[in-house]
Structure 1
Amino acid sequence: MTMGLFAGIPVSDYDRAVTWYNLLLGAEPAFLPNDREAVWEVGEHRYVYVELRPRAAGHALTTLFCDDFDERLAAIAARGLTPAERETYDNGVRKAIFLDPDGNELGLGGGPAPD
């Protein structure tokens, strides 16, 4: 069975959030279902979206795993964003944590550093 993902992130300022997530994800939204939501496709049947919900903003915790961790972080840095925090777990898995303007956490995870 294939599972899809549609992960929502509440934000307080729609335009500011769309600009920031464009930088982080390296693309414009895949679609705009209405004037309060923007949706990015991060993989086949896997989406991250922001929704204007000021009272809930700042409480999302989302982690995306990628095969091209180092290259992706370099591309994000070239667009002007840097992780707020980096972690390496005992099993070698690495995580870079980005905080959007509301304080929502979007982490990128990847395998151990290449030798």
Structure 2
Amino acid sequence: MRMLLTSVAMSLMLFAGIPVSDHATAVAWYERFFGRPASFQATDTESVWELAENRWVYVVENPHNAGHSMQTILVDDLDGIVAEITERGIRPEKRETYDNGARKAIYRDPDGNEIGYGYAPQSG
């Protein structure tokens, strides 16, 4: 089945999950990565960070699927975000620049999940 997006106005929300092998270890790393404690703890093994209104990232203990997540968060000031994360002791594993001017800094959590920050230039 193919889904087409239309121009119908709709409220967009995001709840993106990252499976981890050990909840406590992941929470400590993501607190450093995001620069703050989780917004709330949903369960004993699931913690949630609200990145913007109606846009959340959560880590959940799920050892069987740990290390297989890929997330990219787009921001206006990629260099500023990377500098802040570096000050907290986490460095990007890799940086990418694409032909259209988009850029991305890729990080890996203790399980190997990829979480990146990216910048995409606005057209027009």
TM-score, normalised with respect to structure 1: 0.94
Query: Larger C-alpha radius of gyration, 1 or 2?
Result: 2
Count matched residues.
Answer: 112
Q: CA RMSD in A?
A: 0.8
Q: Read off the aligned partner of 2:79 and give its amino acid letter.
A: D
5+ residue gaps, structure 1, are: none
Following TM superposition, by how much is the alpha carbon of 1:54 offset from its aligned partner in structure 2, in angstroms? 0.4
Residue 3 of structure 2 corresponds to: none
Residue 110 of structure 1 corresponds to: 119
Of residues 2, 6, 18, the one that matches 2:11 is: 2
Give per-residue Cα distances to partners, 1:54-111, cap 9 Å, x unaligned.
0100000110001121111100000000001100000111000000000000010014
Residue 4 of structure 2 corresponds to: none
Matched residues in 1 for 2:112 and 2:76: separation? 26
Q: Read off the aligned partner of 1:47 and give its amino acid letter.
A: W
Alignment of 1:25-104 (within 5 A): 25-104=34-113
Matched residues in 2 for 1:70 and 1:94: separation? 10
Following TM superposition, by how much is the alpha carbon of 1:26 offset from its aligned partner in structure 2, in angstroms? 1.0
Equivalent pairs: percent with the same residue?
53
